[in-house]
A and B are shown apart, each in its own frame.
Chain A
Amino acid sequence: MTEDKNKMNLNAEPVVSTLKAEGPWTIAWNRFKKNKVAVIGATGFLIIVLLVIIVPMIYSFNLFRAQEGITTGELIKETIFVDLRAQGFELTNANMPPSREYLLGTDRQGRDVMFRLFYGGRISLMVGLMAAGITVSLGTLVGGIAGYYGGIVDSILMRFAEIVISIPFLPTMIAISAAMRWVPSERSIFVVVFVVGILSWPGLSRVVRGQILSLREQEFMLATEALGISDASRIVKHLVPNVLAYVIVSATLTMGSAILLEAGLSFLGLGVTPPMPSWGNMINLARNATIFENYPWMWVPPGVLIIATVISVNLLGEGLRDAFDPKEIR
């Protein structure tokens, strides 16, 4: 593809323009496009994100359209900012199996499982995204400082990372979530995000530190010093881009594991708490023997979506890793 372009340019313009070097991002993007697996992962993830955004909107739109005297402005507003209350419930419709009216059936309170599934998806994806954000920021910050300054700062920070890494992950998370059970439902997602975030940064911080340590010694850094480039510019323009690949890959993979952790915690009744739906606390319904045996439509779909999401995210992460790796020749 790029070769064709170059040939065309060669015919039309002077040679000089083809000498323009491809930036690392262009190289990565081209490699990513060629990596079928990564493209499948990215597409799958995009589809899930779109469904999660659009499906609750449709519900909200249908509900508020039927209301009398609603203006177009209000309708648009209600459609965009879907409220959890947008989905009413009728107890007379409880425990209905999937049908044309309710594609995935209804739950014990007569709520549409389809709505809860995709609204819950928003919550689960948000938890994953925010937890990955915290992990990556902390990991890069700690690793960056340790690597750049070295010496005593490095020793202290890495000792600290070693301690955090040795804390038994899941048991401690469960204990902290249990201690924070008083947090109301709509804010319980922040507890999960916080708990996952503060316990999972050390892995990345070690990688970033190692990278920065070795980059610092390389000749191009000496060159930046010789050129009199300022400290800030050296860090932002020359060190950060070199570790950015690791950070992005780590963010993707962390997001996958954060989604799994949220599901596990909520399954135990400790993560995101009802009435706010999340994929994990929807599967939690299966701990009730009646629901488990007789109403599988209430707990199987969220599990399937978790698997689909995490597979897509992991494929995307692996694809990005291959795309960014300068040693990889394909």
Chain B
Amino acid sequence: MLRYMTKRILQLIPIVIVISMVIFFVLNLMPGNQVSAYLGVGSEVSPERKAQIEELLGLDKPLYVQYFMWLKRVVIERDLGRSIVFGAPVNEVINTFVWNSFILNLVSLIFAMLIALPVGIRSAVKKYGLFDNFFTVFSLVGVSMPTFFFALILIFYIAIPVESIPLNGMRTSIMSIRGYPSKMAEIMDVARHMMLPAIVLTMTSLATLTRYTRNAVIEVINQDYIRTARSKGLAEKVVIYKHAFRNALLPVITVLGMWIPSLFGGAILLETVFLWPGIGRALLRGINNQDLSLVMATLVFYAILTVLGNLLADLSYGLADPRVRVK
């Protein structure tokens, strides 16, 4: 098992490198001058000074050389560069914002799971009933709705009329400047701000997760061993929760495996609407300000998350189902 896992993880490295290459070349298509981005807006420099800075940043070399310089710096010197927008080392910037995204995603995923599993099972047991049909429509609307529009509607109809729900941000600015009176007050403040974005994220994951659970349970219910369990005269509850549900968990776990890494990636659109200080919004600011080191590092970080998610999905099959366990 360990050897298999190491092999799989090693296989990911070339993929990540190729992706980073693609991203690097795409980013260098960006218009605008990196020297002026480096010096700040509105700064005028003489051509000689400009050439000096270009040499300093390695911009005078061909693109592929620049890529290998970047790769060498990241892998060997473990230096991701400095973010222009935030004026700090990129790894510090990512480390600050990633946890804000993580907490929001984690809370939403927990809520989504707590709702989706029972709903999915009930929909499957009473297939095409009123309950099932309601959630079918709910999922359809959920996957067809642009998240940012849903977020805007929530702000418009809930946050604006209800005084105690904040419009956006993560903390009340006065409180975060003066410092919170207690840890509890801080948690309450963040929770209040998190309410609307968490509702949006929960709804969107719920839409897919309920369908997924439902279909998995339906698949299992049609199996022979469920008929056997029923013909033994077991109570329907035992059949569903003990025999059917445990087997239906397999595909659900796979989906969750894929979602673990995405917990760290911020939802860019959502964070933009709610001004949530997450990694997605940091990335967008980086893109808008031609902050190449930050954008490059964040995109590669996302790529690693995606690749790891696919791997985890594969591996979690083995964890949940002994039949596919690799020897």
Contacts and interface: CB of A to CB of B under 8 A. Distances in A.
B31 A267 contact: no
B287 A174 contact: yes
Contacts of A286: 152
A268 B268 CA distance: 10
B149 A283 contact: yes
Contact of B303 (A166, A179, A181): A166
Interface stretch (B15-23, B112-120, B245-253): B15-23
A175 B26 contact: yes
Contacts, number: 110
Interface in B292-313: 295, 298-299, 302-303, 305-307, 310
A260 interface: yes
B265 interface: yes
Interface stretch (A26-34, A81-89, A92-100, A310-318): A310-318
B217 to A, nearest CB: 19
Given A163-B19, A178-B288, A264-B269, A303 B152 contact: yes
A287 to B, nearest CB: 8
B149 A311 contact: no
Interface in B212-247: none
B128 to A, nearest CB: 12
A168 B15 contact: no
Contact of B146 (A166, A168, A303): A303
Given A179-B31, A306-B146, A268 B269 contact: yes
Number of contact residues on B: which range applies?
Answer: 35 or more
A293 B287 CA distance: 28
Given A168-B302, A172-B26, A264 B152 contact: no
Contacts of A283: 146, 148-149, 152
A118 interface: no
B153 interface: yes
Given A166-B306, A303-B146, A182 B141 contact: no
Kindly name the residue among A179, A306, A310 whose own CB sees the greatest number of chain B CB atoms within 10 A.
A179
Nearest to A177: B287
A176 B140 contact: no
Kindly name the residue among A286, A292, A314 whose own CB sees the greatest number of chain B CB atoms within 10 A.
A286
Contacts of B30: 175, 178-179
Nearest to B146: A263
Given A162-B15, A174-B287, A175-B287, A307 B149 contact: yes
A76 interface: no
B156 A296 contact: yes
A175 B23 contact: yes
Given A267-B148, A307-B145, A311-B141, A175 B299 contact: yes
A171 B305 CA distance: 13
B140 A315 contact: yes
Interface string A160-204: 001101111011101110111110000000000000000000000
B146 A260 contact: yes
Contacts of B195: none
Contacts of B16: 166
Contact of B26 (A176, A263, A300, A307): A176
8 smallest A-B Cβ distances: which pairs? Answer: A168-B302, A310-B144, A303-B149, A179-B30, A311-B144, A179-B29, A178-B287, A166-B307
Interface of B: 15-16, 18-19, 22-23, 26-27, 29-31, 140-141, 143-149, 152-153, 155-156, 160, 265, 268-269, 272, 280, 283-284, 287-288, 295, 298-299, 302-303, 305-307, 310
Given A163-B19, A260-B146, A264-B147, 11 more contacts: A165-B310, A167-B19, A172-B26, A175-B287, A175-B299, A283-B149, A292-B156, A300-B153, A307-B144, A314-B144, A315-B140
